[in-house]
Structure 1
Amino acid sequence: MARKQRKQGNTGSLKGFIIFLLLIAGAVWFTQGSSYQLPDLRKELPDLHEEKPSAAQSAPLTGNQEKVSSQMEIPRNLTDRKERILKRTGYTLSYNSFYKTPNWVAWELTRKETEGKAERYDKFLPDPDLPEPRVEHSDYTRSGYDRGHMAPAADMKWSKKAMQESFYMSNICPQNQKLNRDDWGDLEDTCRKWARKYGTVYIACGPIYDKSKPERIGKHQVAVPDRFFKVVLINNRKNPIAMGFIFPNAAHHQKLEKYMSSVDDVEKATGLDFFSRLPDSIENRIEAIVPALPSGR
């Protein structure tokens, strides 16, 4: 009798041990199956913070470093237009195949970018991302017009690639020589001073065509603008400033204040909506006025 009880006890212990092993195996299988079936959602979701500055962005930019922009500078179309959007290292461009010039060019300029050391490239090239036939350097030769940069080469000194891309002909417009070398250039210099003083400025510029049949130059019939616009946002938290400028494509030499207008007026002239990422209450207020020209010191 005692032997039978001992046998039953041993059998019960063995069954309990087997059940224990099965439970462990089941737990391992369940854990492995769960980790296999449930993907890491963090890898599936977009990075919702990609536009926020990171520690890497605060470091000096190099020629191989990607620029992360807030997109504050990118305008929205208020009217239909021919365009091809081209995203460059240092700027974004809307190209118009009818005029053979940009509709607009927009970029963010930071204090660090004004301190770059990339040498001026000075080699105008057809844009490789546009279909042929493409505007060439020779289209401007002996035309009487300068090859006027929209995004200036001096704003791209922080990257060799950005500097080279600023000389693509898609970033160029036929510009009066005196305008390009005097007042337009003065505003470019002033924007760099604002970037150094305030940390960041957002800029968009481009041609304005008032005539239905503008003058054309070169083999590829590049349209000559009647005017040029530039808008600038100093997004100072305490006192954001939005400025508009309109330049006749003609020889003038006068103070920048003479070219100033409200951003609202530039929007009416261009059919573009600038700085739309601002809260409406701020955008509506600062774009309706013509502010005093900020000091660059």
Structure 2
Amino acid sequence: MKKYFISIMAFVAFSAAADNCVYNCPTGVSGQTITRSIYTLHNNSQTKFANWVAYHVTPSTIDGPSRSRNWKADPSINSANTLEPNDYTSAWATIGTDRGHQVPLASFSNTADWSTLNYLSNITPQDSDLNQGPWVDLENAVRNVVRSGQDVYVVSGPLYEWYFGSLPEADESHTIPSGYFKVVITDVNGWVEASAFIMEQNASRSDNFCSTEVTVNEVESRTGLNIMPSLPSYKESAVEGQLGGLSSDLGC
């Protein structure tokens, strides 16, 4: 009976991960995978931030009421491997960063588990101009696609290519990202389209996210990830090697 119960729990976890990811969740780097009802996250114990997050935005998950931001350490991660709310003290005043959601709160405001997005495993110190400028503009564009009736899968995460700064009052070693990637994917009866974007921490608030579009291949090259590991090989070059798969849908 115990073995049977464990098998069922493993199946439930796999099914949830499959719902959050399209063509399986990313592979290529080590860390702790945490699967929740509305997102899957891969935590890095060295940087203290997620290597990647994956989520599935649908018409039923968006356009809920305004939700609060009550920051908490992730209860599923050892305290040595993640940050706590006090670590962000004075961050905006000293290095100009917001607590930036990697899985956006607004994309799941109509769900019961929205508060899990305020776990600090889903947060990074994101430059205010980036967070409140082109990054949120892209997130809004994704939700506009969903409002047209189209489900969207997203994989997002950090880049570490140059030194940005450090949280002045954090008591754990950590590495703040130099930039971020976001891969936006649709799958309609096996017809897969994708657009990828890379934005730097020194972006201007007025920057147009469309100008940051790259190929999925470039994201994979710069992160070491395989974004869609089970994508059939005959689709890879068209989906991952070319620009513009979803550009027009996203308003570019």
| TM-score > 0.5, shorter chain as reference | yes
Distance 2:57 2:221 in 1: 25
Residue 12 of structure 1 is matched in structure 2 by: none
Residue 60 of structure 1 is matched in structure 2 by: none
Q: Which has the higher contact order (CA 8 A, sep 6+)?
A: 2
Q: TM-score, normalised by structure 1?
A: 0.71
Distance 1:123 1:73 in 2: 33
Distance 1:172 1:224 in 2: 11
Distance 1:74 1:136 in 2: 30
Q: 1:94 aligns with which of 42, 58, 69?
A: 42
Residue 240 of structure 2 is matched in structure 1 by: 287
Tell whether 2:36 aligns with 1:76.
Answer: no
Distance 1:70 1:179 in 2: 25
Residue 206 of structure 1 is matched in structure 2 by: 157
4+ residue segments displaced more than 6 Å = none
Q: 1:109 aligns with which of 54, 57, 68?
A: 57
> What is the letter of the counterpart of residue 102 of structure 1?
A
> What is the letter of the counterpart of residue 119 of structure 2?
Y
Per-residue deviation, residues 126-149 of structure 1 (Å, max 9, x unmatched): 111111244112212212311110
What SS class does the counterpart of residue 99 from structure 2 fall into? strand
Stretches of structure 1 that go unaligned for 5 or more consecutive residues are: 1-44, 51-65
Paired residues, what number?
Answer: 233
> What is the letter of the counterpart of residue 248 of structure 2?
P
Q: 1:238 to 1:257 in 2, by over 3 A?
A: same
Residue 251 of structure 1 is matched in structure 2 by: 203
Distance 2:26 2:249 in 1: 29
Farther off after superposition, 213-222 or 106-115: 213-222
Q: 1:73 to 1:120 in 2, by over 3 A?
A: farther
Per-residue deviation, residues 165-196 of structure 1 (Å, max 9, x unmatched): 00000001111011001110001101111122
Contact 1:151–1:166 under 8 Å retained in 2: yes
Contact 1:155–1:192 under 8 Å retained in 2: yes
> What is the letter of the counterpart of residue 179 of structure 1?
L
Matches within 5 A, 1:226-265: 226-237=178-189, 240-252=192-204, 253-265=206-218
Q: 2:83 aligns with which of 119, 135, 141?
A: 135
Q: TM-score, normalised by structure 2?
A: 0.83
Distance 1:67 1:75 in 2: 7
Question: Which is higher, the Rg of structure 1 or of structure 2?
Answer: 1
Q: CA deviation at 1:274?
A: 1.5
What SS class does the counterpart of residue 189 from structure 1 fall into? helix
Contact 1:275–1:283 under 8 Å retained in 2: no
